[in-house]
Amino acid sequence: MHEPASVLALLPHGAGIVDGMLSVGGCRVDDLASRFGTPLYVYDDGTLRQSAREVLAAFRPLGARVSFAAKACEVIRVLRVFEEEGLDLDAVSEGELEAASRAGFDPDRIHLHGNNKAEEELARAIRCGLRAIVIDNVDEARRIVRLVGNQPVQVSLTMRVLLPVEAATHPHLQTSGERSKFGIPVESDEAREFLDLVAQHPSLRLISLHTHLGSQIADVDVYTRAADDLLQMAARLSARGSPLQEISLGGGWAVAYRPGDPSLSARDVAAALAPLFGDCSWRLAVEPGRALVARAGVAIYRVGSVKQSGSRRLVAVDGGMGDNPRPALYGARYSALPVSRPMSTPLGPTDVVGRYCESGDVLARDVFLPAMRAGDLICIPMSGAYQVSMASSYNLVPQPAVVLVGASRANLAVRRATVDDVLARDVP
């Protein structure tokens, strides 16, 4: 059983209990739920900034470039916080490029990822002069050559390298190793073809090598192995005259969703990489997503029913896999707290289930909650990453609102969708 105090420690920094109610960023969560409705995603400005500062501080001695992987949370107000804190940005779509631009990121602080980028995305990247386009395959490089044509532009490229390094994580979160769909296999015909293409085309410049091993990785050794492989490759390319500047090791550092879960801090990653990059010709780059936002966000749900089913107590809430598909996608596990009197002694194990018509719609299995009644509020900590950004309108349920809190004030960041929003593209 997780003690309530250990679950409280997963909340954003400065969260607390005011008059028996959970508070985040100086705002009582029950007040936020009344004002903005539920389900509600609450992000704490102070925790976002603290996370950004910790990661930047950890990598500063290495002179590394740190980007935020926007896919973890594309809310413009959140991106703006990271822009202000000095992070660069990793985007994967035209939508993310537009969100980044609205958040104030200059194009030369953005790189574009993706294993099958649309032509319009590549055209936009070339037009606005992004810092780099990360190349996943030769077809994409050929498409860029065609789009550039005779224009007098320079396009900076990063080569996403598929290494044989496999990280220990859920198979759906692995993005390296033999079965991965991402990147150009090292020392392959595809790699040679890509390098020849770059060498032949004066508009193209290969400035960095990149790999991203996967997500929720708690073992730092895979990063040093991947770095070793990329550094050797960079040395070979440099000997052939490639003007490489950077080696990017992606993101993927694990966060603890429940008390006691393994995690990997920015400081641990930086310490492990320091011997390799301390005195090196190439600058290190990293692009964490989850590690920068997971803790800053909490999900708030209202209980609709409580029932006993055999030995199981089921607490049904007004959200679920529509706003958080992670448990159904890859068995993600969470803890939970009541918003009112969060330190109450828990009863037996409870499943917090969602409102969607799928048996896999279980938000948090076997969590310890006190007696709950219809109308009570539940808080799921560590909800800041890959929830709002993965939310769907399955069952035609509108997506939740998002608020940003800090200094006892709450600002709406994303309004709750309406049924009209959800049906807006339907052509009856």
Ligand X SMILES: Cc1ncc(COP(=O)(O)O)c(C=O)c1O
Query: Active-site positions?
Result: 357
- Cβ 427 to ligand X, closest distance in Å? 33
> What is the DSSP-derived secondary structure letter of residue 345?
P
| 206: phi then psi, degrees, rounded to nearest 5 | -85, 110
Q: Note the residues at the interface with ligand X (CB under 6 A).
A: 69, 71-72, 90, 113, 175, 212, 215, 250-253, 287-291
Q: What share of the chain is helix, strand, coil (3-state, %, to 5)?
A: 35, 25, 40
- Cβ 290 to ligand X, closest distance in Å? 4
Select 175 or 208, whichever has its Cβ closest to ligand X: 175
Select 45 or 90, whichever has its Cβ closest to ligand X: 90
213 burial (CB, 10 Å; 0-12 / 13-18 / 19+) is buried
- Cβ 90 to ligand X, closest distance in Å? 6
Instruction: Please choose, from the candidates 305, 312, 310, 422, the residue with its C-alpha nearest in 3D space to the C-alpha of residue 354.
Output: 305
- Residue 105's SS3 state is coil
Start-to-end Cα distance in the chain: 51
The three-state (H, E, C) secondary structure of 195-252, written as one string: HHHHHHCCCEEEEEEECCCECCECCCHHHHHHHHHHHHHHHHHHHCCCCCCEEECCCC
Select 249 or 410, whichever has its Cβ closest to ligand X: 249
Residue 162 pairs in a beta bridge with 185
Query: Residue 204 CA to chain centroid, in angstroms?
Result: 29
382: left (phi over 0), alpha (psi -120 to 50) or beta: left
- Cβ 256 to ligand X, closest distance in Å? 14
Q: What is the largest CA-CA distance in the chain?
A: 71
Instruction: Please choose, from the candidates 212, 170, 174, 180, the residue with its C-alpha nearest in 3D space to the C-alpha of residue 329.
Output: 170
- Cβ 113 to ligand X, closest distance in Å? 5
DSSP alpha helix (H) spans, 37-186: 45-59, 76-85, 94-102, 119-128, 138-148
Select 25 or 252, whichever has its Cβ closest to ligand X: 252
- Cβ 114 to ligand X, closest distance in Å? 9
Select 10 or 73, whichever has its Cβ closest to ligand X: 73
Select 47 or 175, whichever has its Cβ closest to ligand X: 175
